Amino acid sequence: YAKPRPMDPRQSPDAEEDFRERLGEALTKDRGDEPLILGFFDASWPQPFENSQRMWSYDRTVEIHKPLVTVPWKTLGFYALLGKSTLIFRKRTTKESICAALEAIREQNPVGRILLVADNDGGHHAKLTQRRADELGIEFVFLPPYSPMFNAIEPLWKTLKRKISPEIFEGEDHFEQFVTNTFLDLSKRVSFADDWIKTFLPNIQKLR
């Protein structure tokens, strides 16, 4: 069961080809003997009250009472195809928060050149962010405008929110731990990026 995602009419008809060329240029840069770390970066705001998973009952309406209504922080996640995935929590997705996420990504992946597929959020383009990325050996590969379907972390976020739906949380710490564990567990699946790999990396037979 899934809802179709309509194409944004503002997206360029050449968006797919443009991104394929951009990604190809980034992948073919000489990195010497360094391993390649490749993944998808994005922010999301999962909440304890997520209700995207359907609950079935034959004789009565299913009700789930959740005492924890909302949490004040957002998640910044890195879904790695090559390398280790990471997740951090911040109250705001500022350029400083993005820099903290980049540092966490590098901490988990201390060796190698890192390519991040990411959208065109202003914080990603900020001078502070780009300077810190350069210092850490991280390169952004930006998506074309209005092209979230090219970011393979999107279906992972949706699945994470479905996992949250039937759960009841004792407090913010419990919720944070659940989100962290679930994200890292889901990120072990390359299947979220199957279509992306077929579209943009058709010559790669096996990533892991």
Give the tens place of pLDDT for each residue, 135-170: 999 999 999 998 999 999 999 999 999 999 888 888
Task: Tell whether the torsion through CA atoms of 64, 67, 72 and 75 is positive or negative.
Answer: negative
Q: Which of 133, 40, 123, 121 is nearest to 87 (CA)?
A: 40
pLDDT score of 130: 98
Q: How far is Cα 20 from Cα 30, in angstroms, rounded to an integer?
A: 18
Report pLDDT for 177.
97
Q: What is the pLDDT of residue 208?
A: 45
Alpha helices in 50-171 (DSSP H): 95-108, 122-125, 127-136, 153-164
pLDDT on residue 188: 97
Q: Name residue 42's beta-bridge partners.
A: 77
Domain locations in the chain as residue ranges: 15-51+71-200
pLDDT tens readout for residues 86-103: 999 999 999 999 999 999
The pLDDT of residue 8: 74
Architecture of the domain made up of 15-51+71-200:
2-Layer Sandwich (3.30)
Query: What radius of gyration do the chain's Cα atoms show?
Result: 18
Q: Model-level pTM?
A: 0.87
pLDDT at site 98: 98
Q: What is the pLDDT of residue 68?
A: 64
pLDDT at 205 over 50: no
Indicate the average pLDDT of the chain.
Answer: 88
H/E run at residue 16: helix 15-27
Q: In the chain, what are the helix, strand and coil shares in percent, each to the nearest 5?
A: 40, 15, 45
CB 99 within 8 A of CB 132: yes
102-138 confidence digits (pLDDT tens): 999 999 999 999 999 999 999 999 999 999 999 999 9
